A and B are shown apart, each in its own frame.
Chain A
Amino acid sequence: MAELSVDLVATDRKVWSGIARQVSAPSVDGQIGVLPGHTPILAVLRPGTVRVVTSDGAAPFEVHVTGGFVSVDDNLVTVVADEITPLGAEG
């Protein structure tokens, strides 16, 4: 099955980059979940929690974002936010 390659990018650095099975992000209209094969989308984020389910079987991790946007294009997910703070690795 196809996988997502995910980049979490903050203003001054790249926070995380890797392969994932699922990403969910807080868009202004509600939480959006992204699975492999998702249609290309550009969504504006509100402050909230981005959740990434990595494909190596480890527990999903969550980060807090302060608004930004997420773009999905050909299984390439880019979460761009002003600030990204990790919330610990528990799911």
Chain B
Amino acid sequence: MAGGSQRVYRQRIKSTQSLKKMFRAQELIAASRIGKARARVAAATPFAQAITRAVSAVALHAHTDHPLTEPRHDTNRVAVLVIASDRGMAGAYSAAIIRETERLLERLDREGKEPDLFVAGRRAVSYYRYRGRSLEGQWAYGSDNPTPEVANEIADALLGRFEAPAAEGGVAELHVVYTQFVNMVTQRPRVVRMLPLEVVEGVNEHDDVEPLYDFEPSAEVVLDTLLPRYVRSRLFSFLLEAAASELASRQRAMHTATDNAEDLIRTYTRLANQARQADITQEISEIVSGADALAASH
């Protein structure tokens, strides 16, 4: 009996210590990557701004209609893109995204729409696959470091579905669920309806001095080239923001886990000391009572 509980406590301390090391390492990795992720969000902003300006210029000056800006009424299918993470250890990050998605899916159901799910990020893919939900598209792309190529691939798949006729799986709307990076401590799941496009951002309000743009080769062709790029750029910036959010919430979760591991180690050390003291006390009392018994027999 003696030493039994001590050994158990020592084992627990050891395993908690190695867990703590892992948590700490994850925290440091996330912390070192987050600066880069935020810089990439900032670096992608000029492109997004330039393209938004150009799109609003066309929308303002050339009153042309484009399939991407027109609401569709020939189908009630809608596409939902979920941007989650590839790896766990990020606290409630993926859970929050999935919860938000479920809420959106319910709402769409109530409105009589049929959502088609497109999922980016292995965590959400396995969540839906486990529940037997069929996915129209899935990507595991290294969610903490997205590239423009991946964004283009996803955007092209979704644009293809939006432009496809109803019989071939065309969709009337595109919703994106991603995590908005507000700051280092706040990241908020957010739903954005991306298609059909509503071009309103950055429109200047002085109509009397508006320059008359020349379009080369024509307003329609310019719009044709601009809008898909606009969608790609928006999507890329969503992916980048989601990546920054993922890293921030991983850093926070791992920091908490490290703290908890330290608490556990402290508790177990106390318990181990207590057990050792109890063993010693017991041994002493055994010796003393043994000696007493010997002395009494003489």
Residues in A lying within 8 Å of B, measured CB to CB: 7, 9-14, 27-29, 32, 39-44, 67-69, 71, 73-74, 78, 80, 82
Contact = CB atoms under 8 A, between A and B. Distances in A.
A42 B58 contact: yes
A49 B63 CA distance: 31
Contacts of A80: 47, 50-51, 54, 229
A40 B54 CA distance: 11
Given A12-B236, A80-B54, A41 B214 contact: yes
A69 B213 contact: no
Nearest to A17: B46
A7 B50 contact: yes
B216 A44 contact: yes
B44 A13 contact: yes
Contact of A14 (B46, B214, B222, B232): B46
B43 A71 contact: no
Interface of B: 40, 43-44, 46-47, 50-51, 53-54, 57-58, 148, 151, 211-217, 221-222, 225-226, 229, 232-233, 236
Contacts of B46: 7, 9, 13-14
B233 A11 contact: yes
Nearest to B47: A9
Contacts of A32: 216
Nearest to B216: A43
A82 B50 CA distance: 12
B54 A69 contact: yes
4 nearest interchain CB pairs?
A: A43-B216, A40-B211, A13-B43, A41-B214
Contact of B211 (A14, A29, A73): A73
13 contacts: A9-B47, A11-B148, A11-B151, A12-B148, A12-B236, A28-B216, A28-B217, A32-B216, A40-B211, A42-B214, A43-B216, A69-B54, A73-B57
A73 B57 CA distance: 10
| Interface class of chain B by DSSP | helix
Given A11-B148, A42-B222, A71 B53 contact: yes
Given A11-B47, A69-B54, A42 B217 contact: no
Contacts of B229: 68-69, 80, 82
Contacts of A13: 43-44, 46-47
Given A13-B47, A44-B222, 8 more contacts: A12-B40, A12-B43, A27-B217, A29-B216, A39-B214, A41-B214, A42-B215, A69-B222
A16 B50 CA distance: 14
B215 to A, nearest CB: 5
B10 to A, nearest CB: 51
Contacts of A39: 212, 214
A27 B216 CA distance: 8
A88 B16 CA distance: 56
A78 B226 CA distance: 14
Contacts of B47: 9-14, 80
Contacts of B54: 42, 69, 71, 78, 80
B40 A44 contact: no
Contacts of B212: 39-40
